[in-house]
Amino acid sequence: MCGRFVSTTPPDELAKYFDAAPPAEAALAPNYNVAPTTDVYAVVENESRHLEAFHWGLVPFWAKDPSVGNRMINARADTLATKNAYRQAFKRRRCIVPADGFYEWHKIAGHKVKQPYFIHRVDDEPLAFAGLWEAWKPKGAEDDEVLRSTTIVTTDANATMSVIHDRMPVILPPSKWAEWLDPANEDVDSLAGLLVPAPPQLLTMHPVSTDVGNVRNRGAYLVDAIPESQVVGSGPEAR
């Protein structure tokens, strides 16, 4: 799964990295602890490729209330073609959610507190999460009241991730960006073939402060590695 990530790269740099036009709206603030229901950047393509801000938590076009998106921050790769909430978006409304890294929590036997880890590319370039997007508006609302929302697609964990969790975001390589973003591509069988675990050597990870569990904490220190003595399950009580 992916429930928290880091987004600090300026939007103009992200746009250049993904060969997209920068967003027209004001830049989102750098955030080392991006949480569901906040606004995040996503790369989309229609007549051109561009970077936009989206609400994190997919709100299907048929939803009666936007709160349904709170339960749709992630979408399992194996259900995109069949689940009603994702089927149409998978076919026609795909995006890339950029991230500088993400967090995952490891359950330690005998401990109530889980140990968070920060996962990022070994070369520290941005990650390209496969995503879906939707446009929703209340009945009778004006066009400028449309809520654009997104979800991050997840798949089985690779060898690097599997030691702490059994799921991970789908990370698309640059060679697959155009295929994934192309709105004219409705070959869901071929698209499903892109939704595989990233190569293990792409990622590295280290334990970080449990402060990341509080969404009010957004500072840069959250991605710093903590000493072994502070890792859950490694203190004197573990011996």
Distance CA 9, CA 30 (A): 7
Is residue 104 part of the annotated active site? The answer reads yes
DSSP 10-76: -HHHHHHHTT-BPPSSPPPPPEEEE-TTSEEEEEEESSSEEEEEEEES---TT-SSGGGGGG-SEEE
Closest C-alpha among 2, 50, 47 to residue 24: 50
What span, in angstroms and rounded, lies between the C-alpha atoms of 152 and 31? 17
- Which residue among the candidates 2, 52, 95, 134 is catalytic per the annotation? 2
Using alpha carbons, select from 38, 41, 25 the residue that is nearest to residue 95: 41
Stretch (H or E) spanning 105: strand 101-106
Q: Which of 45, 52, 95, 104 is catalytic?
A: 104
Residue 142 a catalytic site member:
no
Which residues participate in catalysis according to the annotation?
A: 2, 104
